[in-house]
C-alpha cells in the first residue's frame, strides 16, 4: 500500500508550546545576528552538560513569570554544570534563560509574544466573572473546577491507583497494548467528560457571540478549540507532568518520554456538520494522549500504520503495523507522536475528543544531530538489520 500524503498537522503560527522546538533550532551565530545583542559575550561561556544528572531533583519554576515554559527550566536544570545545581533558583534561571535566548531567533520571540497577547485577550474576556455590562453574554467560565487539577474528580480510581504506585507493573495492570506501542486504559470520569463538553460549548457560544477569531487546534481541523488558549494551560501542564510523563517514562523512553516538558492541548469535534474525518499524519508531539469525551456517535475509528522518522514517513506499511481502534468514552489512547495515524469518518452523532500533544525539547534537540533512529523508527530499524546482514554475509564470503 502506498502511503503518500502522511501529513504533519502543524499548530498555527506562534504557538508558545511549540516555541522550544524553534528555540533550539537556531545556531549560535544566527542568534547572535538575530538581536541577541542583549546578551553580553560572557554568556557564550554558558554551557550545558551533554548528559543529565539523573539523581538531581530540579526546582519548580511554575510560580515565576518566565518567557519560556516553567517545565523547560525544570527539565533543563539536570543538564546544568555541577557547580550550578545547588545554586539559588534565580541564578539557575538567569543561566538557563541566556542559553535559551541564544538558540531562540528574534522572529520566534516576536511570534511568541503575539500569541501570548492573543491568549491574554481571550482569558481576560472569557473569564471567571459574568460581565456587568453585558450579563447575558456567556463570558463566564462555566465549570471553574476544570481550570485547576483535581485528580479524584477527573480520573477513575484504577488510573489514580496506578499513578500512585508508579511502577511498570501497576501501569500494565490497567492497560492493554492491542498493537505494539499503542496503549489504552480507562482514564476520565463521565462527570469530567460532561463538564468538559459543556465548557467547550459555552466557550464556543462566547466566540460566536463576540465574533472573536480563534485559532483552531491545527492545520487539519476547521472545528475544535485549543484549551490552553482559554485558561486550561496550567491544568493541562499538570496532566502532562504528573500523570502522562510517569507512564511515558516507562513506555516511550526512546522518544523523550521521560522529559516531556511542553504541551499543546485541545478538543476536536467531528460529525456531519463538523470535521468529518482526519487525514493520515504524524503529530507534532513526542507522545500523544487522545481520550474520547462524547458518547453519541458512530464511526470515527483511528487507524494506525507504524512509527516513522521524517525520512521514512511515507514508506510502505508492514502488515503487522496495521491497527484500527474504535474510541470508547473516557478511555485513553497513548501513542508515540510519530506513530502514523488518521481518523475515519464519524458517520452519525458528534465525536468529541480531548487531545494532548506532549513534547520534549531535549529529545528534539538531540534528534537534530542524529541520522539513525532505529530505536524507534521501524524503517531505520529495518535498514540497520539489512546493513548488518550484508556485512555478516560479506565477512562469510571472505572466510
Ligand atoms: O480524531 C482523533 O481522534 C485523532 C486526532 C489526532 O490524531 C490529532 O489530533 O492529532
Ligand atoms: Fe494525530
Ligand index nearest the alpha carbon of residue 220: 1
Note the pTM of the prediction, 2 decimals: 0.81
> What residue's CA is closest to ligand 1, atom 2?
343
CB of 241 shorter than 6 A to ligand 1: no
Task: Show the cell assigned to 381.
Answer: 530499524
Given ligand 1 and candidates 11, 281, 289, 290, which is best to mutate, with the most ligand atoms within 8 Å of its CB?
290
- Distance (angstroms) between ligand 2 centre and the Cα of 339 equals 9
The pLDDT score that the predictor gives to residue 90 is 94
CB of 356 shorter than 6 A to ligand 1: no
Run of H or E including 175: strand 175-179
Whole-Å CA distances, 151 to 49, 79, 146, 258, 389: 36, 31, 11, 21, 50
Run of H or E including 210: helix 190-210
Run of H or E including 202: helix 190-210
Place of cell 488518521: 342
Q: CB within 5 A of ion ligand 2: which residues?
A: 283
The pLDDT score that the predictor gives to residue 245 is 97
CB of 23 shorter than 6 A to ligand 1: no
ipTM score over 0.85, yes or no? yes
For residue 221, give the ligand 1 atom closest to its CA: 9
- Distance (angstroms) between ligand 2 centre and the Cα of 75 equals 25
Q: How many CB atoms lie within 10 A of CB 147?
A: 17
The pLDDT score that the predictor gives to residue 72 is 83
> What residue's CA is closest to ligand 1, atom 7?
342
The one-digit pLDDT tens for each residue of the chain (399 residues) are 333 344 445 443 333 333 222 222 222 212 222 323 333 334 457 788 888 888 999 999 988 888 787 888 888 899 999 999 999 999 999 999 888 887 777 888 888 889 999 999 999 999 865 555 655 556 789 999 999 999 999 999 999 999 999 999 999 999 999 999 999 999 999 999 999 999 999 999 999 999 999 999 988 899 999 999 999 999 999 999 999 999 999 999 999 999 999 999 999 999 999 999 999 999 999 999 999 999 999 999 999 999 999 999 999 999 999 999 999 999 999 999 999 999 999 999 999 999 999 999 889 988 888 889 999 999 999 999 999 999 899 898 888
CB of 268 shorter than 6 A to ligand 1: yes
Degrees, nearest 5: CA angle 177-318-172: 10
The pLDDT score that the predictor gives to residue 117 is 93
CB of 302 shorter than 6 A to ligand 1: yes
For residue 270, give the ligand 1 atom closest to its CA: 1
Place of cell 508558545: 16
- 138-381 folds as Jelly Rolls (2.60.120)
- Distance (angstroms) between ligand 1 centre and the Cα of 278 equals 7
The pLDDT score that the predictor gives to residue 133 is 60
The pLDDT score that the predictor gives to residue 171 is 98
CA distance 297 to 279: 19
Polymer length in residues for the chain:
399
- Distance (angstroms) between ligand 1 centre and the Cα of 324 equals 13
> DSSP labels for 344-377?
PPEEEE-EEEEEEEEE-HHHHHHHTT-S--TTT-
For residue 290, give the ligand 1 atom closest to its CA: 3
Given ligand 1 and candidates 288, 323, 328, which is best to mutate, with the most ligand atoms within 8 Å of its CB?
288
The pLDDT score that the predictor gives to residue 6 is 47
Amino acid at each position: 500500500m502506498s502511503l503518500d500524503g502522511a501529513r504533519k498537522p502543524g499548530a498555527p503560527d506562534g504557538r508558545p508550546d511549540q516555541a522550544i522546538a524553534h528555540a533550539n533550532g537556531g545556531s549560535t551565530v544566527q542568534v547572535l545576528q538575530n538581536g541577541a545583542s542583549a546578551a553580553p559575550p560572557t554568556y557564550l561561556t554558558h554551557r550545558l552538560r551533554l548528559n543529565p544528572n539523573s539523581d538531581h531533583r530540579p526546582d519548580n519554576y511554575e510560580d515565576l513569570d518566565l518567557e519560556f515554559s516553567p517545565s523547560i527550566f525544570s527539565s533543563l536544570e539536570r543538564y546544568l554544570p555541577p557547580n550550578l545545581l545547588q545554586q539559588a533558583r534565580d541564578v539557575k534561571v538567569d543561566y538557563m534563560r541566556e542559553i535559551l535566548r541564544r538558540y531562540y531567533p528574534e522572529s520566534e520571540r516576536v511570534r511568541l509574544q503575539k500569541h501570548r497577547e492573543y491568549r491574554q485577550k481571550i482569558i481576560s474576556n472569557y473569564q471567571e466573572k459574568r460581565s456587568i455590562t453585558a450579563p447575558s453574554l456567556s463570558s463566564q467560565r462555566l465549570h471553574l473546577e476544570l481550570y485547576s487539577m483535581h485528580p479524584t474528580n477527573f480520573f477513575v480510581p484504577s488510573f489514580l491507583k496506578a499513578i500512585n504506585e508508579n511502577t511498570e507493573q501497576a501501569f500494565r495492570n490497567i492497560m492493554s497494548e492491542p498493537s505494539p506501542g499503542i496503549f489504552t486504559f480507562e482514564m476520565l470520569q463521565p462527570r469530567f467528560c460532561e463538564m468538559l463538553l459543556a465548557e467547550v460549548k459555552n466557550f464556543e457560544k462566547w466566540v460566536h457571540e463576540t465574533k472573536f477569531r480563534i485559532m483552531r487546534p491545527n492545520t487539519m481541523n476547521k472545528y475544535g478549540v485549543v484549551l490552553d488558549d482559554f485558561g486550561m494551560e496550567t491544568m493541562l501542564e499538570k496532566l502532562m507532568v504528573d500523570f502522562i510523563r510517569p507512564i511515558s517514562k516507562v513506555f516511550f523512553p526512546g522518544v523523550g518520554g521521560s522529559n516531556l516538558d511542553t504541551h499543546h492541548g485541545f478538543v476536536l469535534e467531528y460529525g456531519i456538520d463538523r470535521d468529518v474525518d482526519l487525514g493520515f499524519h504524524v503529530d507534532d508531539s513526542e507522545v500523544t494522549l487522545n481520550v474520547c469525551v462524547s458518547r453519541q456517535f458512530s464511526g470515527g475509528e483511528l487507524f494506525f500504520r507504524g512509527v516513522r522518522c521524517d525520512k521514512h514517513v511515507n514508506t510502505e506499511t508492514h502488515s503487522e503495523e496495521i491497527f484500527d481502534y474504535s474510541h470508547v468514552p473516557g478511555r485513553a489512547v497513548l501513542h508515540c507522536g510519530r506513530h502514523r495515524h488518521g481518523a475515519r469518518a464519524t458517520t452519525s452523532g458528534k465525536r468529541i475528543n480531548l487531545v494532548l500533544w506532549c513534547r520534549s525539547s531535549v529529545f528534539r534537540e538531540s534528534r537534530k544531530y542524529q541520522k539513525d533512529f532505529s530505536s524507534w523508527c521501524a524503517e531505520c530499524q529495518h535498514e540497520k538489520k539489512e546493513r548488518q546482514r550484508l556485512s555478516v554475509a560479506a565477512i562469510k564470503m571472505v572466510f
